[in-house]
Amino acid sequence: MQVEKKLEESKILIIDDDLALGMTLEEILRENDYHRVRYISDSREAEKVFVEFHPDLVMLDIHMPHLDGFAVIERLKNLNGRSFVPVLMMTAEADEDACVKALSIGATDFLSKPVRVTEVLARIRNLLRVRHLQADLESKNDFLEDKVKDRTGQLRHSILELDRMHAEVKQAYIETIYRLTRATEYKDGETAEHVKRLSFYAAEIGRALGMSETDVELLLYASPMHDIGKIGIPDNILFKKEKLTPEEWEVMKTHPLIGYEILKDSNAPVLKMGSIIALYHHERWDGSGYPQGLKGAAIPIEARILSLVDVYDALRSKRHYKDSFDHDTACRIMLEGDGRVKPDHFDPHLLEIFRSISGQLAKIYDDNRS
């Protein structure tokens, strides 16, 4: 009942130069218990209204005079701060390039015109659920520990629901999944950048390895889900600054299996790959990893790639227990070892690819850090 009340009280901003469609959407939403709706037809007013209205969801047309949807998204991103406000893009054209561009600059979902009432309502409800889950994470430091079973169920339900609803809109589906994975680590701004960099690193390694573009794309979008299982780890362990006790470390080591359990039942290729990466990305080539202690080629190639780039980015990044290393130092540690990190942890072939394209990975790091 509380969740439903939150959804009904949500603020929805519609930006579309088509007066007939805008007014129709406004009426439909009000008839379905969304009473806090604002519609504007002039995209130049978007920033002002966004600041005044504080919407929980923005419905935005792509093709408009003055400022198109792409320009509006760029302007609104600067107003969001840390809060996540989903953007549902609308267009009359089945333009895959426009879809990809919109999603890449911050749109959350995509809707083709002419719109269908049932689809509009379903997607709005789903995005608002994500929005309010995110708001809860921002306001409650103990949210993950106290509500993990409930939120894990909701997250899994949302993923399966998105799988059914978004079969024909692949890019929108992928972006929504990416937003959901960020919820597990939203308290740490650096970690959000870390997830983005891992995707780019993994895709670069996949191309150098000779993967098809289809598999590279899957790897790009599945990689952010590698640590989704951390949603099941209590806050007092997940964010502990001191060294974990042996008992706490055993709890932490359960996050690969939790991530696998969340993702495993979907038929979507990206989620199937995500479940494999989540389960095996802490396995090591020499068999010293977890949770199953797999060795060598028994570890799926996608997980081997994530294992390598995850360590590289961790070395490059500042943590509460360590300073950041520059690129050359991180490469030396990866290739020669430092006691804790050993070359034997990684697939030798992937390590050679890493050596040959390390400059490209350095650029990815520099281009995607706060």
Which residue numbers are catalytic? 230
**CA proximity to 200, closest of 363, 321, 317:** 363
| Cβ proximity of 60 and 38 under 8 Å | no
Q: How many residues does the chain have?
A: 370
The count of other CB atoms within 10 Å of the CB of residue 24 is 15
**CA proximity to 73, closest of 54, 101, 95, 53:** 101
Output the CA torsion 187→189→190→195 (10° steps). Answer: 80
| Cβ proximity of 32 and 76 under 8 Å | no
Q: What is the DSSP letter of 322?
A: B
| List of residues 6+ apart from 267 with CB closer than 8 A | 163
Q: What is the DSSP letter of 65?
A: S
**Ordered strands of the 87-91 beta sheet:** 36-40, 11-15, 57-61, 87-91, 109-112
- Provide the pairing of β-strand 11-15 with 87-91: unpaired
Q: On the CB side of 330, how many CA atoms lie within 13 Å of its CA?
A: 23
For residue 355, give Cα distances in angstroms to 202, 309, 343: 14, 12, 12
**CA proximity to 273, closest of 237, 292, 313, 301:** 301
**CA proximity to 177, closest of 51, 270, 115, 68:** 270
Span between the terminal Cα atoms of the chain, in Å: 39
